[in-house]
Each structure stands twice: as structure tokens, then as C-alpha cells.
Amino acid sequence: NGHQIAYVQYPQHFNNLTKNDIYGNSFRVARKLEFPGLDANGGPCYIGTGCFHRRDALCGKKYDKTCKLGWKRLNRREVEENATVLEETCKVLASCSFEQNTQWGNEMGLKYGCPAEDIITGLSIQCRGWKSIYLNPERESFLGIAPTSLLTMLVQHKRWAEGHFQIFLSRYCSLLYGHNRIPLKLQLAYCAGNLWAANSLPTLYYVVVPCFCLLKDIPLFPKVSSPWVLPFAYVAIAHRAYSLGEFLWCGGTFQAWCNDQRMWLFKRTTSYFFALCDTILKLLGYSNPTFVITAKVADEDVLRRYEQELMEFGDSSPMFVVLASLAMLNLFSSFGAIKKLVFNADHSEVSDRFGLQILLCFLLVALNWPVYNAVFFRKDNGGMPAPVIYKSITFALLVSTVAMST
């Protein structure tokens, strides 16, 4: 029933993306896979940009049979108003005074009080009986500009992850608010985004603990010669191969997929972790995070490096300190692994016992290559600032020394 559609979600096309997509803006995958899949789960969520709403649904009306209107008859109706009436109406709308002492921001319009107001707005609309659809026409519907610096991308995802996690811990959690209102599969689809911040913890575990234990000669995985290594190998290889196949099928390149995996690591160890900490501190009353607006206009030098597919590390941000510290820790662990393989008399025993840990460590080093390039080799303004380099190397050396001396 087409009259039950509350809103139509269109994709946003970014006309400034580089060929290899250095910041992992995998919008082509979302357009061709994720949102069409959400259609089968009960309708895509409302993600802000690129959406058309029905006025009845946006104004808080529940869906019922009376919502079936004759669109042709409605569109033919003419409203005659003189210029004076229109001018007075526009003044009221421009002043936003019409919201005072009403349900706007609560039960009508976009809901207030959350960095991800579009998510809870779409969820509340779907819980009132409306449906949503995803439409991806051949002609590009909405054009925009993707982030052209790494810090902008990380801050943007921190804001999104923080808003999603606040929703999960509030009464608008899809498992509670959507119970018996929307299908269970749609409730779980919302959780995938709402738990971005929480997913930072297992990612940090895999980035820090295996490398730390490798320095302490503690094996964490089965031996390479053991049959128990097969489940680990199957999960790792099958998941990455399937992800690569999806990315190439959607029109991406192998290098763009590698960058997407790199940004997956960067976001989970910085943006999502900071969002998790800020949300918990806010719930405990120790912090009151502010809404951080990301820059939409890039500096000419930043834009030039973006077009040359060079990541931007020129800001002294705490996120870069964490990113560089983890990268240096993995680099030192790799040196320790090479030392074990070269100077140990029984090379086969070392490779058999620590094979998966060494492979994981080398993989993390490969993903962090842009960080090493910014720390050791780059001399332009996009390189890592000196204070960030000193802090990260000091922290990584301290952790490595503790691991090897205890």
C-alpha cells in the first residue's frame, strides 16, 4: 500500500571521492547492499540527508486507514492567499516560536536531545505503524562533499557513535521501544549501529593484547600444526574474502577495500572508543559532551593531499596520539617477533607456537602503514606533529619495556 510509506530514503552521492577512497567512505556498498537489505527487514532507518517525508508521519500521526488520501485530488486543490498573509506566516516560521509549548521535538518533527536525532525520529515513525522504503535511482538524487581529512572523519564518526550508543542506553533502544511495534529483525538491524561504540572494546583487545603477549612469550592462539587452528583461519579468511567480493561487486577497487579495512581499524580504536568513554562519563555525571560540528570546507593544501590520496595527520589531536601509540606498539612487537624468528635456535617451534600472533601483528603493521609514513617519512604539513610523535613513541616504549621485563 503506497499510502503507508512514511518516508523514502535516497542515497547521498559524493562527487569529491578519490578513486581509491582513502578514508573508507564505502557509500557504494551501503547503497547496493545495506539499505536494500534493510528494505527486507521492515524498511531502512532515517539517516538524515537524502530523505523525503510524508507530512502526516512527520507531524506525529499514527497510521490508520484514514491516511489513504486521494493524491490527485489533494494536489489539484488551490489555496489562495494574499502576499500579506504569506509574509506573516513566514515570519512566524522563521522565528521558530511556533515550537514553544507544543509537542515539536518530542512527538512531532525531528526529536531533540540526541546527536543522532534522525535515528530516533525514524524509529518512532516506524513504531507508529508507518513503513519506509529505500530508493536508489540511476540519476544521482543528492550530491554532497565527503570529509577530506582524517580528523574530520574521526570526529564525525565519534559524534555518530556517541549518538547511537546514547539511543541504545535510553528508552528509545530498539529492543525496548520497538517491542511488538516493529519486526524483531528490524529491531536487531538498529542495534548494529547502536553498538558501534561498544565494539571498540573487542577491537582494542585484538590490537593490544596479542602484541603485548607476544613480547611476553605468551601464546594466545592454537599452534599452526594443531587442527584447532582451522576455525580461526576459516573465520578470518572467509570473512575478509567475502567482504572483498562484496566491495568489488559494488564497483570498488582492491586499494579502496584496503583503505576501508584501515579506516575500520582507525575508527574503532579512536572514534568509537572516545564515544564510549564520553557516553559513560556523561551517564555518571562527570562530563557534559558538546555537539562538535565538523568542517565542510577544506584548506587548499588539505584538498590537494586528499586528491593525491595522502592521509592528513597534521593536527595535534588526542585521537592521533592513541592511533600512533597503537601503531608504534604493533611495530615494536613486530621487531620482537622478527628477533624471535632470527635468533632463536628452533625457528620452526617459534613459528608453530606464535604463528597466528605474528601474522596478526604483521597485518596490523600493514594496516598502520600511513601512520608510519606520517611519523617517519613525510615532511609536508600533513605529517604527524612532533608532540604526537614523542608521546606515542614514549608510551609504546614504556608498554614494551614493561612487557619484556616482567
Residues contacting residue 189 through CB under 8 Å, at least 6 positions apart: 38, 41, 42, 45
What is the per-residue pLDDT for 309?
85
Q: What angle do CA 88, 51, 246 make, to 5 degrees?
A: 165
What is the per-residue pLDDT for 296?
61
Give the mean model confidence (pLDDT) for residues 178-203.
92
The pLDDT tens digits of the residues spanning 216-253 come to 888 888 888 889 989 988 998 999 999 999 888 888 88
- Judged against a pLDDT cut of 80, whether residue 290 lies above it is answered with no
* 3-class DSSP assignment, residue 132: strand
Ranking 67-81, 169-183, 196-210, 326-340 by mean pLDDT, the lowest is 67-81
- Judged against a pLDDT cut of 50, whether residue 318 lies above it is answered with yes
Other beta carbons within 10 Å of 217: 13
Q: Largest Cα–Cα distance of the chain, in whole Å? A: 93
- C-alpha cell of 154? 574521526
- pLDDT band per the 50, 70, 90 thresholds, residue 263: very high
Q: How many residues does the chain have?
A: 406
Average pLDDT along the chain? 85
The pLDDT tens digits of the residues spanning 59-96 come to 888 888 766 655 455 444 444 556 777 787 778 777 76
Residues contacting residue 50 through CB under 8 Å, at least 6 positions apart: 9, 10, 11, 12, 141, 142
Cα 69 from Cα 86, distance rounded (Å) = 26
> What type of residue is 145?
I
Distance of CA 110 to the CA centre of its chain: 22
The pLDDT tens digits of the residues spanning 24-42 come to 776 767 777 888 888 888 8
Q: At what angle do helices 254-266 and 347-367 cross, to 10 degrees?
A: 90
Please count the CA atoms within 13 angstroms of the CA of 108 that sit on its side-chain side. 11
- Judged against a pLDDT cut of 90, whether residue 108 lies above it is answered with no
**CA-CA distances (angstroms) from residue 366 to 64, 370, 377?**
56, 9, 16
Other beta carbons within 10 Å of 104: 17
What is the per-residue pLDDT for 288?
73
**CA-CA distances (angstroms) from residue 311 to 5, 111, 204?**
41, 36, 22
Cα 384 from Cα 378, distance rounded (Å) = 8
The pLDDT tens digits of the residues spanning 354-392 come to 889 999 999 999 999 999 999 999 888 889 999 999 999
* 3-class DSSP assignment, residue 31: helix
Which of 306, 274, 231, 384 is closest to 16 using CA atoms? 306
